[in-house]
Structure 1
């Protein structure tokens, strides 16, 4: 199970401030989703010592730790890189640099403090979700057929690819065809580079996944790792989305928030197809909220950070409406974004402009 996760606490001596300790890449995504334009972020950064009268910055100048508070103007998170950049104007620090612009680079094991005028229920829920133990962090997904094998891990915000191995059974290299054992041994070597993995899921069409399962379990080298095989119709990244809801994975705990996104999106599309209890698009959701019919709101992280959405979410909180945030990086987040970035399940049918 996931042993490390985002840690957050209120600062009682400073109302509105939270101290957050980042443990891994997932936490960076949660932090990016939580932080909005106009929030304050406080952290220690390394800045060059600058003296008045310097005409040219010396690249060899010593950098010293400096505590700064910035008024957030922009956040940038590059998936799977372990780095979040928060940029804005310095509003609290030494008088020499106050008013300057500063980027705060946040990585795992870093600590930052965040201030919001109003911590929404949705933001608090995200912090709570970040502290769940996701089993998916311990799973390695092997998706293969008799021609190629892809290796994936899953994050809170998407699926990360770790490379492809070819069997040599097709294409230009057919004349240098590999034996099955060579193909499997290359896959085994790739698996060995993931030292923290506790579960291996082998997925794909046909019988190749069963053969790899027998190869890995028969060697005895993975006796401390749970190895399982699940059929899938696809032999690419989409196979991950297929197997996430398989009962054999559901039995081991909270696999990933991607499973939740998949289930809600499938329900959403089903309701849309039959003109059921659903509405989508900012204006329609806002209008329907006034009827009291909304049960749950689904919103992409981009729309969640949109300034116009703040009041809508505050109103949703006053009605006791659940808010679920979708990653921009997933197949399902892109579907919600295509529907205006915000959708809602309804308690009963309401005619809207959809």
Structure 2
């Protein structure tokens, strides 16, 4: 089967690096060195664009996605030797391989771009800004301070001025803005925004939290507030299912984790949702294939957010069960 894709950003390149396998044939327009023979030796005389099909053997991900392998189709004058395709956002690819349903679902999930959400978590001593799209990006950390050490003068105006400055800087990129935190700082910022930046109020939702920083961000995710402001949030969905798994593990309920335990539960037909970390996809491919045959729902959990990191720390594989297994 042939899949046609055009990655739009670094997240899409990462997704492709996970689903393009060493037996895939990738066809795309690429730059190729031109060689001529002079005196029995090959000499490179430049590069030109051409459409090549490459049987992939090597996959590297960095700032770009590099796919290396043997040329299997191309212009008549091109020798069928090694070539590396440099995939950047905007590169159109045809990928020929046998597709698995969980891979197709992963591509479809990547196609549904989440509306960007700017999150500001603050109290009177610190503020953190995050941009949430398909994944989380920490933008800036601002330290506050109630009084100047030497003068004893309140530093709140300076602190809040910095917060509003960063808010104005990132607001144009965001569909919605969430400002949340413990204490009175949230209310004071709300008052200042109403006075000075009233046009932003249509984008902003205010909420209370018990914590600041990453812990406060996870509190927001668990509460499901992202679903209230956008139609799609992969991080929020993944956080919810990982937290459900952890909760069931703690009470020895309807959950398993670890490769051997999850395999046993899947073979018994007990797994309702199979969870696999994006870092474990290649290693767990036989498990994923069997889950597909059994029509078990599969979720690939990103390791780029806190719950995903936590899940990877558990081994990166687990399952929510239809019923509790007896030992």
TM range (shorter): 0.7 to 0.9
8 Å contact 1:299–1:324 — kept in the other structure? yes
User: Of the candidates 36, 60, 71, which is equivalent to residue 55 of structure 2?
Assistant: 71
Report the alpha carbon displacement of residue 65 of structure 1 after superposing the two structures with TM.
1.5
Report the alpha carbon displacement of residue 239 of structure 1 after superposing the two structures with TM.
1.9
Please give the TM-score of this superposition, normalised by the length of structure 1.
0.80
Report the alpha carbon displacement of residue 76 of structure 1 after superposing the two structures with TM.
4.2
Give the structure 1 partner of residue 122 of structure 2. Answer: 144
Q: What do the CA deviations read for 1:203-225 (whole angstroms, capped 9, x no partner)?
A: 22221122112212322443474
Report the alpha carbon displacement of residue 280 of structure 1 after superposing the two structures with TM.
1.9
State whether structure 2 residue 171 is matched by structure 1 residue 191.
Answer: no
Give the structure 2 partner of residue 350 of structure 1. Answer: 325
User: Which consecutive aligned stretches of 4+ in structure 1 deviate over 6 angstroms post-superposition?
Assistant: 54-58
Report the alpha carbon displacement of residue 45 of structure 1 after superposing the two structures with TM.
2.3
8 Å contact 1:167–1:178 — kept in the other structure? no
Equivalent pairs counted in the alignment come to 322
Give the structure 2 partner of residue 47 of structure 1. Answer: 32
CA gap 1:244/1:333 in 2 versus in 1, 3 angstroms: closer
- Report the secondary structure of 1:38's partner residue: coil
1:286-301 to 2 correspondences below 5 Å: 286-301=263-278
Report the alpha carbon displacement of residue 351 of structure 1 after superposing the two structures with TM.
4.2
8 Å contact 2:277–2:308 — kept in the other structure? yes
CA distance in 2, matches of 1:339, 1:247: 23
Give the structure 2 partner of residue 17 of structure 1. Answer: 2
User: Of the candidates 318, 334, 339, which is equivalent to residue 314 of structure 2?
Assistant: 339
Report the alpha carbon displacement of residue 141 of structure 1 after superposing the two structures with TM.
0.9
8 Å contact 2:224–2:236 — kept in the other structure? no
8 Å contact 2:145–2:156 — kept in the other structure? no
User: Of the candidates 178, 182, 194, which is equivalent to residue 201 of structure 1?
Assistant: 178
Ranges in structure 2 where 5+ consecutive residues have no aligned partner: none
8 Å contact 1:69–1:91 — kept in the other structure? yes
Give the structure 2 partner of residue 3 of structure 1. Answer: none
- Report the secondary structure of 1:302's partner residue: coil
8 Å contact 1:43–1:104 — kept in the other structure? no
Ranges in structure 1 where 5+ consecutive residues have no aligned partner: 1-15
CA distance in 1, matches of 2:325, 2:65: 42
CA distance in 1, matches of 2:193, 2:46: 52
CA distance in 1, matches of 2:95, 2:206: 43
Give the structure 1 partner of residue 158 of structure 2. Answer: 182
Give the structure 2 partner of residue 215 of structure 1. Answer: 192
Give the structure 2 partner of residue 124 of structure 1. Answer: 104
Report the alpha carbon displacement of residue 133 of structure 1 after superposing the two structures with TM.
4.8
Please give the TM-score of this superposition, normalised by the length of structure 2.
0.86
Q: What do the CA deviations read for 1:211-264 (whole angstroms, capped 9, x no partner)?
A: 112212322443474112222232212322211243654323334211112111
8 Å contact 2:71–2:83 — kept in the other structure? no
RMSD after superposition: 2.8
Report the alpha carbon displacement of residue 162 of structure 1 after superposing the two structures with TM.
1.4
Q: What do the CA deviations read for 1:155-191 (whole angstroms, capped 9, x no partner)?
A: 32x3211122233547xx7448774233222222222
Give the structure 1 partner of residue 289 of structure 2. Answer: 314
